[in-house]
Structure 1
Amino acid sequence: MTESNSATPPSPDRGSLAWLAPLYQSGSSLRVWLLLLWRHAGRIHWRCWLLIPLATGLIVVGSLQGLIGRLLFSRAVKRRPMAGPPVFVLGHWRSGTTLLHELITLDERFAFPSNYECFQSCHFMVTGPLVHWLSRSAAPKKRPMDDMKATLSSPGEDEAALRNLGAASFYNNLFFPSRADDLDASLDLQKLPLEQQIRWKQVFEHFLQQLNIRFGRPLVMKSPTRTAHAQTLL
């Protein structure tokens, strides 16, 4: 959802995927989605607004599925011990972390959140393989920034999951770059209010616990933003 400081947000480039931004957030919870629309309504380009009803419908359905997931798995998520400490791939953007991540995840002793789990983090415990299989044909096959192969089953960046689940996230600044109020805080968690720091840790730990239930193996996690969060992760 592109925007600017001017009264009229700039139009997404022809041929770009920017105008599809609402669909990239279809894995959000309904609460997170409504707060985002309320905060940024005047900064969303009209082409993106065309997809917001569809995205909202998907989010409503996904939130109901997420509620079912919490009812089914909440006890197991809390009680099952982690299969092992997660492995974090750290490094700056464009430094080769994606390649390293994909090489490590070839080892079947480890598990990883796929693009599907990361972008549909609200309800992946319920929808899982079925929706993954049905939607493979509609998803881009390459990443737009570097043409690397990327499918819904490819290793994903967990930062997308945190954003969808309402934690402070650097990805919020990618959708609304001129409203980067929390840019520094999204990288330096110590700059967040204490309540948001606690919320960030709770969301991330819960996501890891859900993945632990799903896979039952030590996890390999990757997002360049984790490099700035190394102290918190220790």
Structure 2
Amino acid sequence: MKYMVGYEKLQKNFKKLADVDKLSHAYLFFGEAGEEKFIFSLSLANYLENKEFKPLEKNILEECFIILPDEKGIIGIDEAKKIGNFLYQKPVLSPKRTVIIKNADSLTPEAQNAVLKIVEDSPEGSLIIFIAKDENSLLTPLASRLQKIYFSETTVMEKADASILKMGLEEIIEKDKIDEYLKNLIIELRKDSVKNVGQLKETLKRLTFIKRFNTNKKLQLKCLSRF
């Protein structure tokens, strides 16, 4: 499937976690990727219910509930309450009942607080997937309780430039290769974004600081080297 190209490693990891019942109860799928995050979420829900890692084209999953923004572009408290009502029913056809919140950054603060209570006391056999572009788009109390998985904007896995990754810190700074180094590091880390989630998150944060705030590149790179 074209939407899954470049995510084979991630798919393999999630299938393995599902098979041994080691999935986290709540995830945040974030990153520049568009529909890929949503397609991956649907595929995971289908794998749990039907053992096929692909989204269903026609049939509706019995154990999956999708939350979308309303016509005003928000997800309010009423939708948040539906999440609890759905998850507190025991799964029958799947080991888990899955809630997928598309455009989770549309959740109002009130709705986020309501969902936070569900995440903190998740019913057995429940899985909530939040989908957003920016990992900082959710309130900190909620975001801190989610396992974060980064999705790149490109569906085809790029190949990192090994020569740049082998450079020492001083050489990178001297040759003004900081931006290039960080981008190649992200490419390398996302080959296994589950295992490397911590370092990937820190690298993305440093690259964001450089792009958004025009901060000292050398300082950001040195901070990253200590991670």
Task: Tell me the TM-score normalized by structure 2.
Answer: 0.31
**Larger Cα-atom Rg:** 2
Of Structure 1 and Structure 2, the greater helix share is in 1
Task: Tell me the TM-score normalized by structure 1.
Answer: 0.30
Higher relative contact order (CA 8 A, sep 6+): 1
